[in-house]
Structure 1
């Protein structure tokens, strides 16, 4: 079906496809750097495992240095329509030095800023509270040793300074997202002391004020992870309360909740009480295993809530998955485009008619509308959006993905 025909079909339902395309073209999706190298990082110090972070697979083509990772990202950006951002972790410096986590400075990440400026992209940032010898106990900011806590507090302070400088240099606020893996493998007897230590450490880390025009703090919860199955100190309840008290963004990661929880439902529940929301869109499979996101019911529901609750302007959308069993660059492209497709489908719903039916308790009409619009030609509108943005779709996209993978397959 041509776009012209699709536009007429949607118009019959009172939907303006041009307005939907224009709105989608203003929504940046923050790609996560760690998909490109299996969460290894580029520190010149010896890394450690830990924190429940695992990437499985050995598909050829893993980025081994910042230059290769940036080349992969440039390709991915070229395959993804709309504005772009990169979510960078503190374990990805670009420097010949070997600073420890409590010694990092903006200059160690300045090449990333120069590159982002060339790409016309924004940057987001994350402290890295895992893969380090001082995180081997699965305790960082909540560690009972004051010296360990001081190390990680300083790391967090420096990350905030780096993120603020990134946002100032690029003219777009960097979201600095704080996630720590702290917890216990078996049942603790004193959860309260650990949570008090975490709260005090966060307060110390966030003490300095930064211009929100350049940097926005976010805090991220988790249900559990490997090594912290019995108790995650930074639970959803903990961080929801903390975000409300401190006025930070609240990060909702789709993989950090029980499989039966509906993350879309949480958006309107927390939105009235926090300055904004950060989303990590993922696809948990039985647990937080971070699979490449599909255009499935969970992602569609998330997008519909963002649009229906008018939360797009208060929400920062990022991705979080890592799959080393397939082409890493293809994973970025597939996942990001699926998030965009979900947003487009939500923007193409007849919201006025749906809200009117619900307000009148006409649930029959509401159900008819939600089911009948599933047959509308969303794909033709998506193809038009891609064409206007100069990116391929359909078989042409597959050809581009295959060709790029062939070029990087010989990386050791």
Structure 2
């Protein structure tokens, strides 16, 4: 897009927003506080690097599609992520799963991983000036095949995964130390039952016990922030999920952990955006996994829809940006994976920009005066304000393609790099 036209359109938009009391320059500056953690697993369909032909299995999750060009090595994944970040405005982090270690072709089991297997990731992130977040990997493993990991009644299996949790925390803390920014370490386990279980309580007691053991060693919050993530159900685990929202909300509040809210892990009629202000009455911080569930936790590429907008608006309206850690979680194997990253991340960023362009104090005053007609009218009029012109200018200021300009960049990368894999 022509930079002169972008600047002209922005000036007109700036005047429109000024008319309702919004300073677009301040908004663009505020966007620097919106830091999004890019999940590594979109690049390779959640395969990981433990073996040369690693693929996603178990866990009640699926990556559907077979589009060519997925990353099959660490070098390819890093190249793809660097390309993605070249096309994004603002600031990003990397969100890494434990199965993506630099194992050098050697068999390293989950209870054997250490800092040395992730040092090259730390060095890479340091070169880019970004932080890393970390996740234990409790699926795609023989010791997760029966549906239970940290809540397993087989003590040897339970202890195996407790050791994995301990090692993940140690790795995360070292990432935080070396990179100078806290690592958010998230724990999600797929544990559950396909059919109606008798002993829900037994498995939940074991999960609580395992978490207590795994979290026993304290780490400074300047290095590591522990989060726990719930889910409604998974494929083959429809009747009971051990780590339900009720379980983890209670655990997180009692034990001062971050509660992770994944927008695909609830019933389709529930709104994650509505949960944020409730959770933050009792928790210091939250972790968000923004995704797009289509009828279930399908993890479609994030799009700018009402659910994502409500999440962003609730965070901005209540000045929660410093208390919410923003991550993405989707994996679509049916389209260009680099393009999927760019679409999804930009969609989330647009939602936050729109939220920041809202005259919240004006709307709140109308609400407190019970002027509900005027409140609704203003909310409707905001939908057609020229936020796109502000977005394009924001991209221009960040030296990344504005509008649809990134499409040709992605297609060229596919032609020059992805198609040759």
Is this a same-fold pair by TM over 0.5?
yes
Shift of 1:156: 0.3
Q: Which residue of 1 aligns with 2:415?
A: 406
Mapped to 1, the partners of 2:243 and 2:224 lie a distance apart of 22
Q: Which residue of 2 aligns with 1:206?
A: 215
Mapped to 2, the partners of 1:287 and 1:295 lie a distance apart of 18
| SS of corresponding position for 1:317 | strand
18, 27, 32: which one aligns with 1:11? 18
Q: Which residue of 2 aligns with 1:85?
A: 93
Whether contact under 8 Å (1:24, 1:82) holds in the other structure is yes
Mapped to 1, the partners of 2:194 and 2:26 lie a distance apart of 50
Shift of 1:395: 3.7
Whether contact under 8 Å (1:45, 1:98) holds in the other structure is no
Q: Which residue of 2 aligns with 1:228?
A: 237
116, 121, 135: which one aligns with 1:107? 116
340, 347, 355: which one aligns with 2:356? 347
| SS of corresponding position for 1:375 | coil
Shift of 1:394: 2.3
Q: Does 1:44 align with 2:51?
A: yes
1:154-205 Cα distance to aligned partner (Å, 9 max, x none) = 0000000000000110000010000000000000011101100000000000
154, 157, 167: which one aligns with 1:158? 167
Mapped to 2, the partners of 1:162 and 1:325 lie a distance apart of 33
Q: Does 1:377 align with 2:386?
A: yes
Whether contact under 8 Å (1:60, 1:408) holds in the other structure is no
Distance 1:242 1:389, change over 3 A: same
1:316-340 Cα distance to aligned partner (Å, 9 max, x none) = 0000000010000000000000000
Mapped to 2, the partners of 1:94 and 1:190 lie a distance apart of 39
Mapped to 2, the partners of 1:233 and 1:310 lie a distance apart of 33
Mapped to 2, the partners of 1:125 and 1:411 lie a distance apart of 30
Shift of 1:27: 1.5
The count of aligned residue pairs is 412
Whether contact under 8 Å (2:65, 2:333) holds in the other structure is yes
| Structure 2 stretches lacking a partner, 5+ long | 1-7
| Structure 1 stretches lacking a partner, 5+ long | none
| SS of corresponding position for 2:419 | coil
| SS of corresponding position for 2:334 | coil
Q: Which residue of 2 aligns with 1:75?
A: 83
Once the two structures are superposed, the pairs formed by residues 290-329 of structure 1 within 5 Å of their partners are 290-329=299-338
Mapped to 2, the partners of 1:357 and 1:175 lie a distance apart of 38
54, 63, 73: which one aligns with 1:55? 63
Mapped to 1, the partners of 2:141 and 2:103 lie a distance apart of 18
Distance 1:3 1:46, change over 3 A: closer
Mapped to 1, the partners of 2:53 and 2:88 lie a distance apart of 34
